Amino acid sequence: MEESMKSCQSQCEMRQPHSRCMENTRVALWETLRQVLDRHDRMNIWLKGLAGVGKMSIAFTIAEEMKLTQRLAASFFFSCQHAQHATMFIPTIAYQLALVFPSIKDAIMKAITEDELLLSSGKSHCDQMQELIIKPLHPVQFHKEMSYAIIIDALDECFSTEEEARLVKLLTESFLGPDLPNIHLLFTSRPQLHIHAAMQTDIHEIPLITGNDATLRDVRVFLWVSLDNIRKTRLDHFGRRQCLGIRA
User: Is residue 58 close enough to count as binding Mg ion by CB under 5 A?
Assistant: no
Judge whether 168 and 161 are in contact, CB under 8 Å.
no
Q: Is 75 in the site for ligand ATP (CB under 6 A)?
A: no
Residue (of 21, 37, 47, 8) closest to 209 by Cα position: 47
Angle (CA) 115 148 185, round 5°: 70
Please count the helices (runs of H) and the strands (runs of E) in the chain. 11, 5
Considering only 47-55, 99-107, 164-172, 223-231, which stretch makes contact with ligand ATP by CB under 6 A? Answer: 47-55
Q: How far apart are CA 99 and CA 103, in angstroms?
A: 9
56 binds Mg ion (CB under 5 A): yes
CA count, 13 A, side-chain hemisphere, 144: 4
Phi, psi at 116, each rounded to 5°: -75, -5
Q: Is 62 in the site for Mg ion (CB under 5 A)?
A: no
Partner interacting with residue 26 (select from Mg ion, ligand ATP, none; CB below 5-8 Å by kind): ligand ATP
> What is the three-class DSSP state of 94?
helix
Site size for ligand ATP, by CB under 6 A? 16
Q: Which of 53, 93, 129, 158 binds ligand ATP (CB under 6 A)?
A: 53
Contact between 154 and Mg ion (CB under 5 A)? Answer: yes
Candidate segments 54-62, 91-99, 102-110, 230-238, binder of ligand ATP by CB under 6 A: 54-62
Binding site for Mg ion (CB under 5 A): 55-56, 154
Binding site for ligand ATP (CB under 6 A): 19, 21-22, 25-26, 49, 51-57, 154, 218, 222
